[in-house]
């Protein structure tokens, strides 16, 4: 019987990347309060400190935890089935055992493929989250830029030396919390209304997270 170490591998791979979940790619894009031609913002802080960023991180962590739990359950089940099959070997014909063993191996391979696919989906969601976050909060940042009569907003992490520039990160955190809250626009809020248009009809659900 094949060693079931692949599930442990998938769980280990699932854990990778989450330590740096708050890390975000550098962007220099229009965003936006004391007047200044140049504003700077720290995208990592926006994602880490806003209610929306924290909510997105919590969702990804919950997905990861569910996936790890499911993989552990599957591993335990397969180990039990493997043990049962081994015990049957002395009681059934070689042909019957071979058929059962082939079926078990096919099941293991299918579970392996499904587990690896879920791990890839989770990693893709983790990588996409900061990009989605910036896309959602961009209108808030653009309003701040207009309020400051600024010409450009830079990623503060890419600015080596500066003088006379205004860091709007804290202001942006407060505005994002006030204007967006902790849920992505278009998702149903806790009362079942669509946050994007205030409809009483729940929005179409997004692709379901791995169960």
The answer, yes or no, to whether residue 29 has pLDDT greater than 60, is no
DSSP state of 205: P
Q: What pLDDT, on the 0 to 100 scale, is given for residue 159? A: 85
Give the DSSP letter string of 96-163.
Answer: HHHHHHHHHHHHHHHHHHHHHHHHHHHHHHHHHHHHHHHHHHHHHHHHHHHHTT-SEEEEGGG-SS-S
Mean pLDDT (the chain) is 80
For residue 10, which of 92, 68, 84 has the smallest C-alpha distance? 68
For residue 168, which of 22, 56, 30 has the smallest C-alpha distance? 30
pTM: 0.68
The answer, yes or no, to whether residue 132 has pLDDT greater than 90, is yes
What element of type H or E holds 39? Answer: strand 38-41
170: buried, middle or exposed (CB in 10 Å: 19+, 13-18, 0-12)?
A: middle
Q: What pLDDT, on the 0 to 100 scale, is given for residue 192? A: 55
Give residue-wise pLDDT tens across range 38-74: 999 999 999 999 999 999 999 999 999 999 999 999 9
Give residue-wise pLDDT tens across range 194-209: 554 444 443 343 444 4
């Amino acid at each position: 019987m094949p060693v079931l170490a692949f599930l442990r591998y998938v769980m280990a791979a699932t854990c990778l990347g989450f330590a740096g979940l708050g890390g975000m790619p550098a962007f220099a894009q229009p965003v936006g309060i004391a007047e200044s031609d140049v504003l700077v913002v720290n995208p990592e802080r926006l994602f880490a400190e806003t209610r929306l960023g924290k909510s997105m991180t919590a969702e990804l962590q919950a997905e990861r935890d569910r996936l790890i739990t499911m993989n552990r359950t599957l591993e335990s089940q397969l180990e039990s089935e493997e043990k049962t099959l081994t015990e049957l070997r002395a009681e059934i014909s070689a042909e019957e055992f071979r058929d059962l063993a082939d079926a078990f191996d096919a099941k293991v391979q299918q579970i392996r493929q499904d587990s690896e696919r879920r791990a890839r989906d989770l990693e893709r969601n983790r990588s996409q989250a900061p990009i989605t976050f910036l896309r959602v909060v961009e209108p808030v940042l653009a309003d701040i830029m207009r309020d400051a009569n600024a010409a450009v907003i830079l990623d503060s992490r890419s600015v080596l030396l500066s003088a006379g520039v205004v860091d709007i990160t804290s202001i942006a955190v407060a505005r994002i919390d006030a204007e967006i809250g902790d849920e992505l626009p278009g998702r149903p809020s806790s009362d079942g209304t669509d946050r994007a248009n205030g409809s009483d009809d729940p929005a179409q659900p997004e692709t379901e997270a791995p169960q």
